[in-house]
Amino acid sequence: MGFFRCMNQFCASGPHGKLGHDFEGAVPVCPKCASDARLPRYAHLIQQLETIHYDPPDPKVFGMGQGILACRPDFHWTEPGRDRRAYHVSGVKEAVNCPVCKASPLFLADEPDREATKPPVGDLTNGPPLESIPEQFRDVELRVQQTREGPALVKAS
Ligand SMILES: [Zn+2]
Ligand SMILES: [Zn+2]
């Protein structure tokens, strides 16, 4: 069983839709145009896809995932010592193709309000307001301000 994408232009969902046609199968044969990647004549049309798991969005930090796989919620793929390159994850549901992830309660649950977790946008000349930056990243922001404005403007925390 594998995930594949047929790049025959006539298999795309529409002229303005996503390129290619994604399908799952035991053999790399497009169900729409019958291109068979095992035959050299058609091999260039079919791409093998990685399994993309769902990493649900972090409820607090905008743009971050929780570091888990929805199909294995007890497994922290970002834990130190793990080879992160071995895991293909996305927080964008449309990009996920793992069938177990797609059937999981985490995948089916409503996403947190992403707008609510965005830091407030105001005058960003000197970076976002310090209060809007999560505690664990504040020292990083101070260094950025240091290089930009010189040590005199660095706020003592
Ligand atoms: Zn096709
Ligand atoms: Zn998965």
Residue 152 has pLDDT above 50, yes or no: no
Three-state secondary structure call for residue 95:
helix
Which range, 12-21, 55-64, 99-108, is most confident?
99-108
133 CA distance to ligand 2 centroid (A)?
Answer: 31
* CA gap 83, 38 in Å, rounded: 31
Residue 54 has pLDDT above 50, yes or no: yes
* CA gap 109, 107 in Å, rounded: 6
Q: In what order do the strands lie in the sheet with 46-49?
A: 21-25, 2-6, 46-49
Dihedral sign for Cα 104, 105, 110, 114, please.
negative
56 CA distance to ligand 1 centroid (A)?
Answer: 31
* CA gap 116, 59 in Å, rounded: 9
Token pair recorded at residue 50: 């990685």
Residue 29 has pLDDT above 90, yes or no: yes
Minimum-distance ligand to the CA of 90? 2
Residue 56 has pLDDT above 90, yes or no: yes
131 CA distance to ligand 1 centroid (A)?
Answer: 52
Please, which pLDDT band fits residue 143 given cuts at 50, 70 and 90?
Answer: low
Long-range contacts at 42-47 (CB < 8 A, ≥ 24 apart): 44/7, 45/6, 45/7, 45/8, 46/4, 46/5, 46/6, 46/7, 47/4, 47/5, 47/7, 47/20
Contact 37, 25 (CB under 8 A): no
Minimum-distance ligand to the CA of 7? 1
In tens, the pLDDT along 76-135 reads 999 999 988 889 999 989 889 999 999 999 999 887 666 666 666 666 566 666 777 777
43 CA distance to ligand 2 centroid (A)?
Answer: 27
Three-state secondary structure call for residue 71:
coil
pLDDT at 31: 95
92 CA distance to ligand 1 centroid (A)?
Answer: 25
* CA gap 74, 54 in Å, rounded: 13
Which range, 6-10, 38-42, 124-128, 142-146, is most confident?
38-42
Residue 153 has pLDDT above 50, yes or no: no
